[in-house]
Amino acid sequence: MQGRVIGVDVTIRDCKFRLVVVYGPQVVADRREMVDCLTPLCVTNRKLVIGGDFNTDLGIGGDSSAGAITRLMACHGLVDGGLHTTPKMAGPTWRNSRGVERRLDYIFVPRSLGKLSGRLLPVFFSDHDGVLLQVGSPVCLFGRGYWKLDRDVLEEQAFVDRFYDFFWRLEGLRSMCEGVLEWWELVKVRIRAFIIGYCKRKKREERREVDRIQRLIELEYEAGNLGGSFDWERSATLKAQLREVQERKARAFLERAHSGFLEHNETCSAMFFKSVRARQSRKVMHGIREENGSIVREPEDMVRVTTDHFQGLFKEREIDVEQGNVFLEHLSRRLPEDIREVMEAQISLEEVESALRRMGKGKVPGMDGLPAEFYLKFWGILGPVVLEVLKAILETGVPGGSMAVGVLSLLYKKGEVTDLGNWRPLTMLCVDYKLLAKVLADRLRTALPYVVHEDQKCGVEGRSIRWNLQLIRDSIAWVEDRGLPLMVAALDQAKAFDRVNRSFLFRVLGRLGFGEKFIGWIRTLYVGAGCRVSVNSHLGDVFDLSSGVRQGCPLSALLFVLYMEPLGAAIRADTGVEGLLIPGSGGLRVKMTQYADDTSLLLCKDSCLTRSLAIFGDFTRASGAVLNHAKSSVKFFGRWRGRTDVPGGLSLCEGALRILGVHFETSGSATLNWNMRIAVVQRKLAMWKARYLSFMGKVLVLKVDVLPSLLYLAYIYPLPACLRRPLVRLVFQFMWSGRCEWVARARMICPIGEGGRGVPHFPLKLDTIFVSFLLTELAHPVIHPSGYLLRVFFSYQARSIMVWSNTGPRAEQLPWHFGHAAKWLRAHPEVEVARVGLDHRHLYEEARKAGSPVPVVGISEVVWEGVQTRGLDNRLKDLNWLSLHRCLPVRSIMYRYSLVQSPTCPRSSCGREETVRHVFWDCAFAGVVWSRARVLLGLVRGDFVLTWARLERGVGRARGTDRDRFLLWLLMSLFKRGLWEARQNMVKTGRDWGVEGIVRRVEGDLRGRMKREERKWGQHAARERWKGGLGLGVI
């Protein structure tokens, strides 16, 4: 590659840019390679600008490198600056004496930059015109934010050793402080200074290393320019080291953006960077509307307006104490004495450690910048100190300085972006604060089942949000079948968590029987708490939080549930509110379901809704909660289907009624909801499809991203038959990237040991989830009213596998979802519930085995797993898997399907039929490659004999240690990949890498692996693991 690239970071008036200047090579293939090498340099949170002489015209008639440049622009959200100026600069920038002219010089800029202007300037020192581009001010200026620990340093043994020595010296500062809380705040300040100093020294060393590598490369070129010999191999090694440094920085940036690579060798794509930018754009504010309607865009003004807005939102509001006492009278449940004593016991180190280990990893820390991973890494020395600090807070009732202040980060929801009401406030809290809150939350969670009614499902152990949805689904089916009247009202609260009145909350806790000591602990965490907003990393001043529960605090959801309990108790106690009579319940009427602030009313009279809204109005005066009339709606079912008059002033829901994320209609609800879910799957797969993933990576995407997005609905409605084939088609088009499917779908669904890829059978998985949930509910006593409706509709259908009683009512006509479950049970007699249990995983595995194809003849489970042994890259596993299936797209197979004109080997000197074995073994070219490979294989085991059986089926039980066998198989897999990629490159481009090209690539890959292990394990261990470096001179 003869091109040149220079990158520089520039800061102009607080605007941070990365400028990348390019000189493109003359050869098309070299230009494509140069564009590929630009990716690590382009991954940055700065404004990226790429410009220079690309030596190609991006217009009509451009070569293949123009496509690579266009994809690079799409990846990073860049546009052609010349085409976005006023007027456009689309003219040629280069001409010669023969009248040929081309536009070869470009400047690519981000779409987010301001107005562009420019012109072309003839210059005396080049045959190209100069391109002058004037850029307006960026839309958004970012602040410095606050310091956060780089988690990568926690994996460095040098840092760990130094920190232990440093921390022990901090014990001597105790005598200078009045108490442990003051000392702990001082310690955190010192820890921050220590880590910053260590990271600065580390970055200086990294810069020196980069400078050293660059200088060595320059010396090689200088020697070649002066007529000396040029060491191409050494130069390639140094460049690979430089590229690895840049890629490491790029990956670290993407990890910080919570958008890391799924696989180690994954490359970036347009959709990948689009998802990163979209995630980041939800946190960027370009302007804020003030109360007078004007929009402010300067950072200082946006911080001021945001601070004023949330300061007003979190201020304490007057409430009617007497009205509150009326609601408290409806609370009849009390916390048992023994539970109260447990809750007020002294906190222990085991509780705090358990809370720490259950904290989410990768979360943004609070003002002290120390994440949960830091505490976990040094828990041996920090644990007793943190316990002492937390105990001191509970005893004194005063949290430490940094613990009392949170950072309010805003996340965009939907609607007008300049309206602060459309941004969700999330509070970033210090880990030591969250540890105390989580310990108290764990204790509070054990008490909720005793004091919270069964209508409320949020935060109460043993209760499920699915019960609410199941109750609404089956209630609608019941009234539609029997022609009964029913209205379902979905009530929404405005800023529910932010408007919690704390004095009313503490009175609720007291009424429910919580002890004064525990209430005092809760009060300690909330009284005197402060906050400062973060707008585009600009921090505002601290202001007091006088109301609300913090969204981000482990206690917030549980406290809100208790805060809402008086409302539910009042509606249940009011005789003027008549709910739906549940069949088979012995006269039970259900008036409402609750999940946190989501309240759904099931009523049979108009007066009941009017009375319920009046109770909510009284609750507003008692607690400060406010009903959002604009987002609350009513839908009629059964005999009332088609009604348009809504009592109480609420709006009529004309379409499907959305409750807790599920849409309910009089009929066709399953198809409606699943169409929406499959559209989500389609969007997800479209994003992942553009990423360079292996089969293993794609299966991981299906299991951890796509399937979880369907599970929530799968418990409520089964997948309709009309949508099963489209869903399966989407999955396998994703697996094969829209190309020919060389392995049968039934085989792909099998696990690895059976020759498959473990692709989830989506229709079967969703069916087993729905059926197992029904059977599980039938197997347990009725806890929730939804259980009665389930028995009315489905207990008779499940009588062959469950205990059934004929004493209760039974529906003769089944709703569609129950009919589907009954049909599924009849179609799967192999599922013996008593044997596999009620868990959907066991149910799925039994049903999958019954429909699996017969094993591949002659290939055992040991062989399948051996060729894909742990430690190999996913793409090497894929290649070995396809090779063992003999399903690679070689010409003999493609000729069979009329995809090529000849089955012969593409190498002109061969002429034999190209099979999988021919590519990897029988071809004369492959023989020469393996003769070179035997040198490296001999360095691992001198007595190893390479045969086609071992090359296809793995080394098996070859002599040597497990590490020896892994190295042998790794080397064989790398050379197999080299042969296959060389074959593909020759077919597509006509260029032959040759034997030396394959060997160089394999050796370069090995060098990279050795360097990574040397950094991870140390030089001595790496030499042992790699047999002294296999003679490559790396370690």
φ and ψ of 266, to 5 deg: -75, 140
Mean pLDDT of 991-1010: 87
| pLDDT, averaged across the chain | 86
**Element of type H or E holding 602:** strand 598-603
Q: Residue with structure tokens 């392995």?
A: 743
**Backbone CA torsion sign across 174, 175, 181, 187:** negative
When pLDDT is cut at 50, 70 and 90, the band that residue 270 belongs to is: very low
Average pLDDT over residues 3-14: 80
Angstrom CA distances, 54 to 57, 105, 119, stand at 8, 6, 18
Can you give the pLDDT at residue 273?
A: 44
pLDDT of residue 268: 45
Q: Give the residue, 962 or 125, on which the prediction is more confident.
A: 962
Share of the chain above pLDDT 90, in %: 48
By CB atoms closer than 10 A (0-12, 13-18, 19+), residue 659 is buried
CA distances from 591 to 250, 579, 935 (A): 55, 4, 79
pLDDT at 866 over 70: yes
The per-residue b/e assignment along 503-519, b for 16 or more CB within 10 angstroms, e otherwise, is: ebbbbbbebbbbbeebb
Give the angle subtended at the CA of 541 by the CAs of 539 and 545, to the nearest 5°.
Answer: 110
Q: Which residue has the higher pLDDT, 319 or 839?
A: 319
Backbone φ, ψ for residue 138 (5° rounding): -60, 150
Q: What is the mean pLDDT of residues 794-800?
A: 77
Judge whether 339 and 521 are in contact, CB under 8 Å: no
Per-residue pLDDT band for 297 (boundaries 50, 70, 90) equals confident
Over its C-alpha atoms, the chain yields an Rg (Å, rounded) of 34
Q: How confident is the model at residue 269 (pLDDT cuts 50, 70, 90)?
A: very low
Is the pLDDT reported for residue 262 higher than 60? no
What's the rounded mean pLDDT across residues 404-410? Answer: 90
**Between 832 and 276, where is the model more confident?**
832
Residue range 965-978: mean pLDDT, rounded: 94
Look-up: residue for tokens 């406290």? 559
More confident residue, 204 or 283: 204
- pLDDT, residue 272, reads 44
Of 56-70, 439-453, 779-793, 978-992, where does the model show the most confidence? 439-453
The angle that helices 556-573 and 606-623 make with each other, rounded to 10 degrees, is: 130
Q: What is the pLDDT of residue 1033?
A: 64
Q: Report strand pairing: 423-428 vs 405-412.
A: antiparallel
As a whole number of angstroms, the distance between CA 863 and CA 966 comes to 14
**pLDDT band for position 422 (cuts 50, 70, 90):** confident
In single-letter form, the type of residue at position 316 comes to E
Amino acid 37: pLDDT: 77
- Of 189, 264, 329, the closest CA to residue 873 belongs to 264
For residue 40, the tally of other CB atoms under 10 A from its CB is: 21
Q: Residue holding tokens 């490369």? A: 217
**Are the C-beta atoms of residues 439 and 351 closer than 8 Å to each other?**
yes
Report how far apart, in Å, the C-alpha atoms of 185 and of each of 352, 366, 381, 451 are: 19, 13, 16, 38
Kindly report which listed range (436-440, 552-556, 957-961) carries the lowest average pLDDT score.
957-961
415 vs 672, which has greater pLDDT?
Answer: 672
Q: How many CA atoms lie within 13 A of 888 on its CB side?
A: 23
Q: What percent of the chain has pLDDT over 70?
A: 91
With respect to CATH, is domain 4-135 assigned 3.40.50.300?
Answer: no
Q: Which of 100-109, 369-378, 497-506 has the lowest mean pLDDT?
A: 100-109
CA angle 440, 445, 448 (to 5 degrees): 125
Pairing assessment for the beta strands 4-12 and 15-23 based on DSSP bridges: antiparallel
Instruction: For 680-712, write each residue's pLDDT tens digit.
Output: 999 999 888 877 788 988 998 999 889 999 999
User: How confident is the model over 556-613, as pLDDT tens digits?
Assistant: 999 999 999 999 999 999 999 999 999 988 889 999 999 999 999 999 999 999 999 9
pTM of the model: 0.81
- Domain extents for the chain? 4-135, 861-1029
**Tokens standing for residue 213:** 């590598």
Q: How far is CA 824 from CA 172, 466, 766, 817, 827, in A?
A: 70, 21, 12, 11, 5
Note if the bond before 726 is cis, omega within 30 degrees.
no
